[in-house]
Amino acid sequence: MLQLLALPLCPPLSRLPFLDAMSDETWIRICSCLASLLCSSMSASAYAVHAGFPQTLLVSLQTVRDHLNIQGKPADIIRNSNSDPILRTLYWILIMMDSSMTECLAAKESFAEYNIANSLNKLWPWLMMTEELRDAAMRLLQTFTNNCSKALVCMCACVGGRNLVVEVCALAQREAALASRTHSPHLLIAALTTLAHCTSHHHCRAIMLKTDVIAVVYRVRCTERGRHAPRVWGAWARLAEAASRHADGAARLLELRAHAATTPPARDLLLPALAHAAHHHRATFLQSADLMDLLCAALMSGDPAQVVPAARAVWTLAANNHKAKMTLRSAGVSAAVSCAFQRLQRSRRDSPELLGRAFHLLAYTDSILSIS
């Protein structure tokens, strides 16, 4: 049934960029209905891919791009960008692209194979022109990069001296600098989430580390305590954890530890990332008194969500290494593990599943540390 509904809503779109999207309410309703249909139905998305809808949308996007390139960026367009019909049409094409890729890997791969990065890179200055376009572009990239390896190749492709990873990093840094009680962090969160998706690709990760976006966002937002802070810190911590799964990302994160370890939000949220970093940089951990103190503090006073990554880090450091066990014992980590085990046994407020995982890790870690 949904495929039958999608059939009349997938016409050739080659002339759409030249329609007045602001005044043609029928056109807007069609786009809105199609976007809702594609978001809500995986079978409709699969049918759209089969019918060649991604290619049609890319042709429309390229036509918009060509039209804007010919038109240039005159002052009146910039001044009236919120009501410009061509930019409005661009917005609805982005919305339909995003909707068609929701929970549909085939659509993402189709967009990647037909080189969506080429048009997005060339359109980037226009995409940053209005808040509506910025939001649509970042939501599209966030969806596009989620669990799609072909999308990550597109993200680091250089077109005209520009690539999408660099642009997203720049946007994240710019949005971080605009922190205020009234400024919404949704673009910053979307940018950080998109970058977290990209960390598994070595070239994307290299670009990201070169821009130092993790450290820049931290330094700009480290004093924030407003109502948006938990969401921003959560997105930042997920990016840090994703980067630290790899040796180069973990090394960059450890360079930040002297500052981050002193800030409560970052200190607590960094523990999962540090557990990964311990796997790649054991020597750095064992030679760092502040990292040992951080692990001890998390074990002795943290909640189970903090105890679990701290125990994982200790387990990783101590495994099959007698010298590491001696260093951990002398730093008081072994005593902290025992203290955490006894403290959590008296806990009644935390979820049984999380407590069970913490007990399992602490028991195993304690047994490793006690073996000579």
Q: So what's the pLDDT on residue 22?
A: 45
Does residue 3 carry a pLDDT above 50? no
Residue 162: strand pairing partners: 159
Q: So what's the pLDDT on residue 235?
A: 93
Tokens representing 273 are 């990332």
Mean pLDDT value across residues 137-155:
96
From the list 86, 77, 94, the residue with the least C-alpha distance to 31 is 94
Most confident of 43-52, 115-124, 342-351: 115-124
Q: So what's the pLDDT on residue 18?
A: 44
Burial of 28 (0-12, 13-18, 19+ CB in 10 A): middle
Task: Give percent above pLDDT 70 in the chain.
Answer: 85
**Does the model's pTM come out above 0.75?**
yes
DSSP 3-state of 131: helix
Q: Are 155 and 198 in contact (CB under 8 A)?
A: yes
213 backbone φψ class: left, alpha, beta (φ>0; ψ -120 to 50)? alpha
- How sure is the predictor about 5, in pLDDT bands with cuts at 50, 70 and 90? very low
Which residue's entry shows tokens 């403290």? 343
CA–CA separation, 179 and 224 (whole Å): 8
Does residue 335 carry a pLDDT above 50? yes
Mean pLDDT of the chain: 85
CA–CA separation, 164 and 128 (whole Å): 13
What are the φ/ψ torsions at residue 162 (nearest 5 degrees)? -130, 145
DSSP 3-state of 63: helix
The radius of gyration of the chain from alpha carbons, rounded to an integer in Å, stands at: 24
Q: Which residue has the higher pLDDT, 235 or 16?
A: 235
DSSP 3-state of 93: helix
Tokens representing 314 are 């200790």
User: Residue 267 to residues 257, 273, 293, 313, 318: CA-CA distances in angstroms?
Assistant: 9, 10, 12, 14, 22
Q: So what's the pLDDT on residue 85?
A: 82
- How sure is the predictor about 260, in pLDDT bands with cuts at 50, 70 and 90? low
